[in-house]
Amino acid sequence: MLRINDLVKIYPGPVAALKGVSLDIPEGLFGLLGPNGAGKSTLMNILAGLLEPTGGTVTLDGTDIVTDPRAVWGRLGYLPQDFGFYPSLSGAQMLDFLLRLKGVDAPQGRKRLVEELLDRVNLAHAARRKVRTYSGGMRQRLGIAQAIAGNPRLVIVDEPTAGLDPEERQRFYRILAELGRDRIVLLSTHIVEDIATLCPRFAVIRGGRCVTSGGTSDARRRLDGRVFEGIVEPAALERIRASHRVTQAVLVEGSMFRTRVQGEAGQQPAGFVPVPPTLEDVYFGVMDESRASDATRPVAAA
């Protein structure tokens, strides 16, 4: 279990990147969802022992990793958002170099371990190719190979599918799902589909605060009968905004909007029909409520 309690991070300025985040993250895949600038990367860096928090505690299976970050390093696999590679090295050479940096070895030798890791992430066929020839998805899989070396207890992946094509995204999903069977895998992203596909539990962070957390299925179930969809003209869309919470308005054929709204059961706008709620509906609703809460929160005195 990864326990995060009242975590605060204040940068000079002052800028409060985290404002008392508390989460219990069990074994398996856990999604951390939020917009850019929400504080997700700051939280990831603290959990990885790369950044010291201003306040709060973090424990991994009872071990305090704030006071002793070295305690987590040997049990951690980390794939940051921007992972640098040496383009002139082959995939196998790059992975071998990273394993040496991490101090990871194996009884059968590091060369055999490199082969096994590349095979696990479906890169064995490209082991001798230069990294500069790798696609974005192949680079991400190489990053995961180094992250899982040493059989870590905690794996952190930050925005892993950004920029990947649909095929590579699905391949990456399968790798992450396999990893989540026997360890804690924390997936930080602003892509709702990633969480909906992979994670039975999730949390949403906005403005440095955790605004909701729990089971993804439970979150969707709470919106049963309260999500409606219809196709409307621009003028009608403005009228609907005045009476309903509009969570999505997607332009269709350049002149109409496919619109999703949330409300009470049976109170859909004319021409709208009930639709099954998605995690995007949950996310947009939570974000809307959070913004409304911010608007009514008293401003602290200078």
Residue 52, pLDDT above cutoff 90: yes
Tell me: do 193 and 207 sit in the same domain. yes
User: CA 187, 193, 197, 203 torsion: positive or negative?
Assistant: positive
Tell me: do 135 and 176 sit in the same domain. no
Tell me: do 213 and 267 sit in the same domain. no
- Domain total in the chain: 3
pLDDT of residue 302: 41
Give tens-digit pLDDT for 253-273. Answer: 888 999 999 988 888 888 999
Give tens-digit pLDDT for 158-217. Answer: 888 877 888 888 888 988 999 898 899 999 988 899 999 999 999 999 999 999 999 999
Tell me: do 184 and 288 sit in the same domain. no
Give tens-digit pLDDT for 120-149. Answer: 899 999 999 999 999 988 998 999 999 999
Six-digit token string for 164: 């990947």
pLDDT of residue 297: 62
Tell me: do 133 and 156 sit in the same domain. no
Tell me: do 50 and 98 sit in the same domain. no
Six-digit token string for 274: 């009930």
Distance from C-alpha of 198 to C-alpha of 196, rounded to nearest angstrom: 6
More confident residue, 50 or 53: 53
Domain span at 107: 86-141
Question: Is residue 301 in some structural domain?
Answer: no
User: What is the longest distance spanned by two Cα atoms in the chain?
Assistant: 69
Residue % of the chain over a pLDDT of 90: 58
Find the CATH number of the domain harbouring 166. Answer: 3.40.50.300
Strand bridging mode 227-232 / 273-274: antiparallel
pTM for the complete prediction? 0.88
Beta carbons within 8 Å of 269's beta carbon, 6+ residues apart: 228, 230, 240, 243, 244, 261
